[in-house]
A and B are shown apart, each in its own frame.
Chain A
Amino acid sequence: MNLLTVSGSPHVYTEESVSKIMYGVLFSLIPAALVSFYFFGLAAIMVTLTAIVSCMFFEFIIQKYLIKGPVTIFDGSAVITGALLAFIVPASLPLWMVVIGSLVSIGMAKMTFGGLGKNIFNPALVGRVFLMISFPVEMNMYPKPTSFSTQLTDIITGPTPLAVVKEGVAQGEKVSDLLPEVPEYVSLLMGNMGGSVGEISALAILLGGIYMLIRKIITWEIPASYLGSVMILAGILWMIDPEIYVDPLFHLITGGLMLGAIYMATDMVTSPMSRWGMIVYGIGCGFLTIVIRIFGAYPEGVAFAILIMNAFVPLINRGFKPKRFGEEVKNG
């Protein structure tokens, strides 16, 4: 008889694996990708492909020649970092800048900390913020949506709806006069607006989010508390003066909020572990997003808000433990 394997219990394991989770996330991004490819054309496809390929390339180079360890570029995590980085930069961004962003994302934000699972900050967001600070002009020109165009240069650009409202209000204009300058809400929801590659269609992103919820890749706590707190805070301000502060629905469906709340803030590695920790973290993200959007120098605050909250995650994990069994005894 052959030898028997002796190992500790349990003896059965889920089919779920790191790469299944990662490719599940990637699959859920398809609707958002299709919308952006439609509105921004070939340029969006080029940016996305460049980001994905260069993220995988840099991860390979670093793992193979710097760390000299196992190469894990096919576990899906580098692909996601690439896709998400592409989704939060303008489609008109020169491709060499996309490559630099990928190097920062993978090299600085991920590998420096020890690779998958060890990073403190969301790699794609670090890449975006680096690009924003280094190339402020290119990172602030957003292409106008058209139906599928193959144009790669001299793309017509313009400000995002958030920027229109923010700058208008800063110059003393009324919100009610500014809103006709941006597309209608239904158009905004579909993604027909200027913005980063993959952030434009709240609806497509929501669809991906629902898929991830069903697959249990993400849980409801972070998106709900993030979006909820943005709605509430924006709603309070809006009720104070609707001519200075734009309504909460506008905040919800413009800019990078939906993408941030569903894909960036929920990044497993950089978000808290316990339910209450997640809720506190989501509220923190929402609060900072509104503060930056309304009172900050930038029209958009999602990237900074999430990165700042990333830094608080170890503290949140300490402060918000899951409820232990038998801790507070309620008998009845």
Chain B
Amino acid sequence: MKTFKLGGVHPPENKLSQSAAIEVLPLPETVTIPLSQHLGVPANPVVKKGDSVKAGQLIAKGEAFISANIHSSVSGTVQKIDDVVDTSGYRKKAIVIKVEGDIWEDGIDLSKDLVKDISLSPQEIVSRVNEKGIVGMGGATFPSHVKLMVPQGKTADVLIINGVECEPYLTSDHRLMLEKAEEMLVGIQIQMKALNVDRAIIGVENNKPDAIDHLMKLIPEYPGISVEPLKVKYPQGGEKQLIKALVNREVPSGKLPIEVGCVVHNVGTSFAVYEAVQKNKPLVERVVTVTGKGVKEPSNFVARIGTPIANLIEAAGGIPENTGKVINGGPMMGKALSDINAPVTKGTSGILLFPQAETSRKPVHNCIRCGRCASICPMGLEPYLLAVLASHKRFDDCETEKVMDCIECGSCLYICPSGRPLLDQIRVGKNETGKMIRLRNR
């Protein structure tokens, strides 16, 4: 079975919610929709306080090249446009809408009927994806239409679909592959048409045999699409690792997947592309896993964007008494939340609750130079060295030692027997080195 070669770790999988079918979460009283839910420039609001909006209506426009449109996820009245603490922990501009009923914008097909025929041309697909505010739903939230436009001089020959879900605990992609497989496959065909490629590979780790079987049964009807079971290893969902695992190509340091003829999209994104292109539906809701060992009913919900995370936790049986940490995302790369009233955004794949006892790190000891961090680094870096260089502010050396290649997967900090804060120090190094490089290139 295929996997990527360099490094990798095996954290306990704990996929507690894998057999919980996707449930629709009831509408909240208000939604808080941040203007920056994607990588790139925040969108500009096109509504003002007091406006009444319908679900699916454009409320903020992404005007820069790397930006994304934002639509209202509910019908109601705009209460305010104000700074709100989002999942990043920073105060950022958001549109707060009071929910009134559930009226959708005209022209959006809300039926469950599968539409297989793709009538739009490649250009129309790209502009539709752009218009409907689709971003990468695996967590990086890169605007999808940008990835569907192959830059001049480059060609794509294979579309890679990320159904790996290598983060422990998370199951939203898994459930989507089981419950919305056909829609997702049509979404993949749409993207293949836009990119003008005749081959797409869905990479799925073999801890999801039911999803693999289900997709295998369906793909004969979708020419060009294949499913590849992968050996479980973290961080296989990293795009460079996934490309290496599936087609054995190595994206050069500092370059994008298109350099080796690949475009990578997540299964959730493929489903969103289907809805945007075939149903005219913007990205206003997503599947979110709510899980954790103390959670009463680990669940997978379809939640409207802007729903307070507290509502999701409540729907999964309430916040356990001893909760000490709430994570937006998985345990390896997710971000710890300071406030559970922060809203669900386009990139929220899961909410993970940890009891107080599991929140503290291991005691820090001297580095015993065991070399495990270097042997498991999926980018072939030397985390122990980068951490020392960064803490000594030797950013030139950080650059030579390829600190910018770090994908922040967290494997080094996970594996370190001395409990050293490797990734914390490397992040500082990456930040400062990045600044230095940008100043130099100015």
Which residues from chain A sit less than 8 Å from chain B, CB to CB? Answer: 1-2, 4-14, 16-18, 20-21, 72, 75, 114-118, 219, 268-275, 321-327, 329-332
Contacts and interface: CB of A to CB of B under 8 A. Distances in A.
The residue in A9, A271, A273, A322 that gathers the most chain B C-beta atoms within 10 A of its C-beta is: A9
B367 A12 contact: no
A9 B333 contact: yes
Interface string B43-67: 0000000000000000000000000
14 contacts: A5-B359, A6-B336, A6-B337, A10-B414, A11-B327, A11-B336, A14-B417, A18-B365, A18-B417, A117-B365, A118-B366, A274-B382, A322-B374, A325-B250
Contacts of A12: 11-12, 168, 331-332, 358, 414
B101 interface: no
Interface stretch (B113-121, B199-207, B402-410): B402-410
B156 interface: no
A117 B364 CA distance: 13
Nearest to B353: A4
Contacts of A5: 324-325, 336, 356, 359-360
B6 A275 contact: no
The residue in A7, A11, A12, A273 that gathers the most chain B C-beta atoms within 10 A of its C-beta is: A11
The residue in A12, A116, A269 that gathers the most chain B C-beta atoms within 10 A of its C-beta is: A12
A11 B419 CA distance: 12
B435 interface: no
Nearest to B367: A117
Contact of B324 (A4, A20, A219): A4
B255 interface: yes
The residue in A10, A14, A275 that gathers the most chain B C-beta atoms within 10 A of its C-beta is: A10
A5 B418 CA distance: 21
Given A13-B419, A325-B378, A117 B369 contact: yes
Query: Which DSSP category, helix, strand, loop or mixed, fits chain A's interface?
Result: loop
Nearest to A328: B250
B180 interface: no
Interface string B413-428: 1111111010110010
B114 to A, nearest CB: 37
Contacts of A324: 253, 379-381, 402, 405
Nearest to A268: B370
Contact of A9 (B332, B368, B378, B379): B332
A108 B418 CA distance: 24
A116 B6 contact: no
B250 A116 contact: no
Given A4-B324, A21-B370, A332 B248 contact: yes
B418 to A, nearest CB: 6
* Chain B: interface size category: 35 or more
Contact of B365 (A116, A269, A272): A116
Contact of B336 (A7, A16, A269): A7
Given A9-B331, A268-B369, 17 more contacts: A8-B427, A9-B329, A9-B332, A9-B408, A10-B413, A11-B352, A11-B354, A11-B359, A13-B361, A117-B366, A117-B418, A322-B375, A322-B380, A326-B253, A326-B379, A331-B260, A332-B248
Given A322-B377, A325-B253, A327-B253, A6 B338 contact: yes
Nearest to B377: A322
Contacts of B329: 9
A323 B255 CA distance: 17
B336 A274 contact: no
Given A9-B332, A11-B325, A21 B371 contact: no
Interface in B286-345: 319, 323-327, 329, 331-340
A8 B424 contact: yes
Interface string B246-270: 0011111101000010000000000
The residue in B327, B359, B368 that gathers the most chain A C-beta atoms within 10 A of its C-beta is: B368
Interface in B219-260: 240, 244, 248-253, 255, 260
B151 interface: no
A250 to B, nearest CB: 33
Contacts of B209: none
Contact of A326 (B250, B356, B418): B250
Contacts of B358: 11-12
Nearest to A331: B249
B382 A326 contact: no
B324 A2 contact: yes
Contact of A274 (B255, B371, B411): B371
B4 to A, nearest CB: 9
B33 to A, nearest CB: 23
A126 to B, nearest CB: 17
Given A2-B324, A10-B410, A326 B251 contact: yes
